[in-house]
Amino acid sequence: MLLENRVAIVTGGAKGMGRAICERFAKEGARVTIADVDVAAAEEAKRAIEDAGGQALAVKCDVSKSDQVKAMVEATVTAFGKLDILVNNAGGVIGKQGQPTNLNALTEEDWDRVVDINLKGIFLCSREAVPHMKANGYGKIINFSSLGAISPPDAIPHYHAAKSGVVGLTYDMAAELGPHNIYVNAIMPGPFRTPFFDEVVVSKSQEEIDAFFAGMGKVSPLGRMGEPEEMAGPVLFLASDMSSFVTGAILPVSGGLPLSPTS
Ligand SMILES: NC(=O)c1ccc[n+]([C@@H]2O[C@H](COP(=O)([O-])OP(=O)(O)OC[C@H]3O[C@@H](n4cnc5c(N)ncnc54)[C@H](O)[C@@H]3O)[C@@H](O)[C@H]2O)c1
């Protein structure tokens, strides 16, 4: 098992890619904290992990609130004794999915909320996690950016600016924390079929939903969207000792995007 005796936190671990990462980490031997605003879904994910023989903790946590982040990291260390891995996965275009989000439509509140969740949340979680990693002399941090940071498919400036900020933050943290044997890398997901799009498809028929997702996937060289489980492997690589000389890397997991299919 690749994560035997490791302790991990996955923010936004209740649904979508985060949940797939939690389940895979637990199968690889890690004890996992599922940190999420949706505590009912986090509890359900915990039960699924335990039913499969793994160990997990569900903690209600909004990553943009420093007091909740502090309490969540403390709960993890109290329950599991240490912290080795932090997956800063929580994010999204919360509350505005499917609505116009160009410069004209955005409010200051939209900007602050989305930048706080997608960028400040990574700072807050990392700031709490790093002292425990330094104490261990080991740590793995994986930050979630988005392919939209470098190749925006739509005008979502607050989200894409935050996800670009994640790239800068990742480089900075990798340089600062490498001497402490703490690795910091980022993932750039392309389109994945997850609850991320729930707000967009809520009033569509199943046929329309399938056409929507097919359209989103077909622009990539692989011709389809990713499934949440397909994110677990790349994150496992960065969280395990298989990536023992990889830090400060930005890994696209995107079906080949931003390349286009040519045949
Ligand atoms: N799905 C995609 O196509 C896609 C593409 C590019 C980047 N991403 C990024 O990948 C990551 C995972 O996306 P996903 O598609 O699995 O999303 P998702 O919407 O399926 O799941 C996100 C999870 O984060 C939780 N969450 C939301 N706000 C939170 C907060 N403030 N604090 C703690 N938890 C919070 C949600 O409750 C949910 O469980 C996100 O950072 C997202 O921005 C997704």
Question: 192-248 pLDDT, tens per residue?
Answer: 999 999 888 888 999 999 999 999 999 999 999 999 999 999 999 999 999 999 999
Round the average pLDDT of the chain to a whole number and report it: 96
Looking at residue 94, its pLDDT comes to: 80
Rounded mean pLDDT, 166-175: 98
- Tell me if residue 159 is catalytic: yes
Compute the C-alpha angle 242/193/47, nearest 5°. Answer: 70
Q: Does residue 38 register a pLDDT over 90?
A: yes
Do 30 and 6 touch, CB atoms closer than 8 A?
yes
Q: Does residue 37 register a pLDDT over 90?
A: yes
CATH superfamily, with its number, for domain 7-253: NAD(P)-binding Rossmann-like Domain (3.40.50.720)
- Ligand 1 atom closest to 62 (CA): 32
Distance from Cα 179 to the centre of ligand 1, integer Å: 30
Q: Tell the residue nearest (CA) to atom 24 of ligand 1.
A: 12
Do 200 and 94 touch, CB atoms closer than 8 A?
no
- Ligand 1 atom closest to 64 (CA): 31
How would you class 194 by CB atoms within 10 Å of its CB: exposed for 0-12, middle for 13-18, buried for 19 or more?
buried
Looking up tokens 């990536």 gives 243
Pocket (CB within 6 angstroms of ligand 1): 11-12, 14-18, 36-38, 41, 61-64, 89-92, 94, 117, 144, 146, 189, 191-192, 194-196
Q: Tell the residue nearest (CA) to atom 23 of ligand 1.
A: 12
Q: Which amino acid is at 243?
A: S
Q: Does residue 97 register a pLDDT over 80?
A: no
Pocket test for ligand 1, best of 22, 120, 194, 216 (most atoms within 8 A of CB): 194
Compute the C-alpha angle 79/248/233, nearest 5°. Answer: 60
- Ligand 1 atom closest to 17 (CA): 16
Compute φ and ψ for 51, nearest 5 degrees. -60, -30
Structure tokens at 189: 């997901």
Lowest mean pLDDT among 122-131, 140-149, 209-218: 209-218
Looking at residue 98, its pLDDT comes to: 72
Q: What predicted TM-score, i.e. pTM, was given to this entire model?
A: 0.98
Distance from Cα 196 to the centre of ligand 1, integer Å: 6
Map the chain to HEC letters: CCCCCCEEEEECCCCHHHHHHHHHHHHCCCEEEEEECCHHHHHHHHHHHHHCCCEEEEEECCCCCHHHHHHHHHHHHHHHCCCCEEEECCCCCCCCCCCCCCCCCCCHHHHHHHHHHHHHHHHHHHHHHHHHHHHHCCEEEEEECCHHHCCCCCCCHHHHHHHHHHHHHHHHHHHHHHHHCEEEEEEEECCECCHHHHHHHCCCCHHHHHHHHHHHHHCCCCCCCECCHHHHHHHHHHHCHHHCCCCCCEEEECCCCCCCCCC
Give the model confidence (pLDDT) of 73-84 as tens digits. 999 999 999 999
- Ligand 1 atom closest to 163 (CA): 43
Rounded mean pLDDT, 115-123: 98
Label residue 13 by pLDDT band (50, 70, 90).
very high
Label residue 108 by pLDDT band (50, 70, 90).
very high
The structural domains of the chain, with segments of one domain joined by +, span 7-253
Q: Which of 138, 159, 171, 183 is catalytic?
A: 159
Distance, CA of 16 to CA of 231 (rounded, Å): 10
Do 132 and 82 touch, CB atoms closer than 8 A?
yes
Looking at residue 99, its pLDDT comes to: 81
